[in-house]
Amino acid sequence: MQAKCLAIANRKGGCGKTSAATSLATEIGSEGKRVLVIDCDEQCSISQRMLADPLEKGEFTLYDVLFNKAPMGEAIFQAAKQFPNCYIMPSSPRLKPDDHSFNSALSRETLIKRVVDAARKNFDLIILDSPPAMSIITTAVLTAADYFLIPLGFDISSLEGVEPVLNEAKKIEAAKLGKPKYLGAFCTQYGQSRLLATKDFDQLAAEVSGLLDKFHIPASSNWKQAEMRNTTLQDSRSHPISKGYQKLTKYIAKEIHL
């Protein structure tokens, strides 16, 4: 068993990266695959959402594995029961691009890749949740990934966040650090009415490379982003959002031969 690694990335915050990573992990885990989610965001959002219990003082995180020589196995926790077959390597508020540990580390771009490669033999899929910025951490995430997806909200900022991610992936490949393959961009729009979209959204969206219109995840006035923090998509398999992720999961499984 050798896990494939999928990164979820966009320069824009609030466009659904964490929700996408959580939902995809839930879908794939429900199919009997072992999924490891590595939280690479200092905000620790997906850690808080997926951990069964808050971390206790002294428990290890990705930061400790990267910089404090913590055993990787001791920084991997089984996710809460609503996330079947899922495991989480939590992040830390210390995981910042300007942290002295990052600045002093050799081969900073491959730090996360080393962790991913060491974990591959124990899982079917590794999902990396990236920070909402283009930084050395995002570069390290893309370097570690075999594939990447870009979630979008209905706003110009998240659309404009696509090109920087694509350009960074090209730089990584040119530098022979990795070969992250772009699987496409898709709309999440949790809790946001399509009618509130910026007027020129459609024009800009038409220019986005790889926009996955057929996996568009529709908005719902009855299902807000705040509710997603405490609800698993498995609770409502017939909901439009859940159906969207079911389709997206099938697409990913086919593309990466999962």
| Residues 173-184: tens digit of each pLDDT | 999 999 999 999
Q: Is the pTM of this model over 0.85?
A: yes
The kind and range of the H/E element at 103 are helix 100-104
Q: Report the relative pairing of strands 86-89 and 4-8 from DSSP bridges.
A: unpaired
Is 34:2 a contact under the CB 8 Å cutoff? no
- Domain extent for 108: 4-255
Alpha-carbon gap, residue 258 to 250, rounded angstroms: 9
Sheet strands side by side (includes 147-152): 77-78, 86-89, 35-39, 125-129, 4-8, 147-152, 181-187
Is 244:216 a contact under the CB 8 Å cutoff? yes
One-letter amino acid of 214: K
Alpha-carbon gap, residue 8 to 51, rounded angstroms: 19
Average pLDDT of the chain is 83
The kind and range of the H/E element at 78 are strand 77-78
Residue 226 sits in a domain whose CATH number is: 3.40.50.300
pLDDT digits (tens, 9 = 90+) for 10-68: 988 777 788 889 989 999 999 999 999 999 999 999 999 999 999 998 899 999 999 99
Query: Is the pLDDT higher at 189 or at 187?
Result: 187
Query: Is the pLDDT higher at 229 or at 58?
Result: 58
State both tokens at 127: 């999902």
Alpha-carbon gap, residue 245 to 21, rounded angstroms: 10
State both tokens at 181: 């393959």
Q: Of the candidates 108, 123, 141, 114, which has an alpha carbon nearest to the alpha carbon of residue 6?
A: 141
One-letter amino acid of 34: R
Alpha-carbon gap, residue 53 to 132, rounded angstroms: 25
Mean pLDDT of 243-248: 81
Q: How confident is the model at residue 222 (pLDDT cuts 50, 70, 90)?
A: very low
Counting the structural domains of the chain, the total is 1
Alpha-carbon gap, residue 96 to 109, rounded angstroms: 14
Q: Of the candidates 137, 97, 85, 143, which has an alpha carbon nearest to the alpha carbon of residue 117?
A: 143
Which residues make Cβ contacts (< 8 Å) with residue 170, sequence separation at least 6?
none
